[in-house]
């Protein structure tokens, strides 16, 4: 198994909403497109964080799971998390930017490295 699938499988094992998104993604795309899936998860996370109706992801649990399973020493995982998650989080002044304050220690350090001005 390559690294991004391991990350997504671990996230899906921790949360039924992530599992549903993951399975639908695999079916709709005939396989894993890591950056697309991370974008789908980020969209659900942002909607849930902002209280959008129908968005059911537990924000705290997802961020804890990502913090726990993310391995920045694995280039493919780091590429997906940095490019399609951290760099796509809301910017200062945008709705939902306060989600940055909920990132775990390692994700926040990575965020601060790649987006030093928020």
In terms of residue numbers, what domain contains 88? 3-114
Question: What pLDDT digit, counting tens, does each position of 57-68 carry?
Answer: 999 999 999 999
Helices (H), the chain: 3-14, 16-29, 34-50, 59-69, 75-84, 105-114
pLDDT of residue 85: 98
* Domains held by the chain: number: 1
pTM over 0.85: yes
Angle at 61 between CA 17 and CA 10, to 5 degrees: 65
pLDDT of residue 62: 98
Q: Is 51 helix (H, G, I), strand (E, B) or coil?
A: coil
pLDDT of residue 1: 39
Tokens of 113: 């490295």
The pair phi, psi for residue 52, each rounded to 5°, is: -65, 135
- Which parts of the chain register pLDDT below 70? 1-4
pLDDT of residue 3: 60
The answer to whether the CB of 29 falls within 8 A of the CB of 36 is yes
């Amino acid at each position: 198994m390559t690294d991004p699938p391991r990350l997504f499988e671990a996230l899906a094992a921790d949360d039924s909403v992530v599992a549903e998104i993951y399975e639908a993604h695999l079916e709709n795309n005939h396989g894993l497109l890591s950056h697309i899936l991370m974008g789908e998860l980020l969209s659900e996370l942002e909607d849930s964080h902002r209280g959008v109706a129908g968005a059911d992801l537990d924000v705290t649990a997802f961020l804890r799971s990502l913090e726990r399973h993310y391995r920045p020493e694995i280039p493919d995982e780091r590429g997906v998390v940095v490019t399609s998650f951290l760099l796509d989080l809301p910017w200062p002044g945008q709705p939902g930017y306060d989600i940055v304050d909920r990132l775990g220690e390692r994700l926040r350090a990575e965020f601060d490295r790649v987006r030093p001005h928020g």
